[in-house]
């Protein structure tokens, strides 16, 4: 899980030719006319496909970077420059463990499925009940109502 954050200074990801080619290939799915113009209305979906989890406010902020002239579309170079400028920050394992420790008030190494659901659904506005059910089934296969904090950390690594 990652979050989108405004970077104080532009960050410079390592855009290898392979990464650029992979991104161009992915963007073909977002370009029905195949004219190199990508609809800004698809930014949230695109960012999620890229592995990020932006809130609607973050998508709006990113949209202002990628389409400052409000054309309603962006091009490949606009996306790369915006990704470089906006930056993405993944939580560290220690940050995830610390957050889970706050939820594990009894210090058992477990969190209730209900509590985890509330937190994840609040954190990820787009997480559906079906998606959460799949996560819960993986983390709590015996349906005990408890999720191991270690299992959760392992899942999101």
Residues 23 and 82 in one domain: yes
Boundaries of domain holding 78: 3-89
φ, ψ of residue 146 in degrees (nearest 5): -125, 145
pLDDT band at 91 (very low <50, low <70, confident <90, very high): low
pLDDT of residue 74: 95
Residues 16 and 74 in one domain: yes
What's the mean pLDDT in 102-115? 89
Residue 52's contacts (CB-CB under 8 Å, 6 or more residues apart) are 2, 3, 4, 88
**pTM assigned to the model:** 0.51
Q: What is the CATH number of the domain that holds 79?
A: 1.10.238.10
pLDDT above 80 (res 5): no
Residues 85 and 117 in one domain: no
pLDDT above 70 (res 89): no
More confident residue, 53 or 109: 109
The least confident of 6-20, 35-49, 64-78 is 6-20
Question: In total, how many domains does the chain have?
Answer: 2
Residues 83 and 127 in one domain: no
pLDDT of residue 151: 85
Mean pLDDT, all residues of the chain: 83
Residues 53 and 118 in one domain: no
Is there a contact between 65 and 83 (Cβ–Cβ < 8 Å)? Answer: no
Residues 73 and 9 in one domain: yes
Residues 121 and 69 in one domain: no
pLDDT above 50 (res 119): yes
Residues 106 and 148 in one domain: yes
Residues 118 and 140 in one domain: yes
Residues 113 and 67 in one domain: no
pLDDT above 50 (res 9): no
């Amino acid at each position: 899980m990652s979050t989108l954050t405004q970077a104080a200074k532009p960050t410079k990801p390592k855009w290898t030719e392979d990464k650029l080619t992979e991104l161009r290939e992915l963007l073909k799915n977002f370009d029905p006319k195949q004219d190199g113009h990508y609809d800004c209305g698809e930014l949230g979906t695109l960012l999620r496909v890229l592995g990020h989890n932006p809130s609607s406010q973050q998508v709006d902020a990113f949209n202002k970077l990628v389409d400052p002239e409000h054309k309603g579309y962006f091009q490949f170079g606009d996306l790369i420059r915006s990704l470089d400028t906006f930056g993405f920050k993944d939580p560290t394992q220690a940050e995830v463990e610390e957050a889970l420790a706050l939820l594990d008030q009894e210090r058992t190494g477990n969190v209730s499925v209900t509590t985890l659901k509330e937190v994840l659904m609040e954190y990820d506005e787009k997480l559906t009940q079906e998606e959460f059910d799949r996560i819960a089934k993986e983390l709590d296969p015996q349906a005990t109502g408890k999720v191991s904090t270690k299992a959760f950390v392992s899942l999101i690594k």
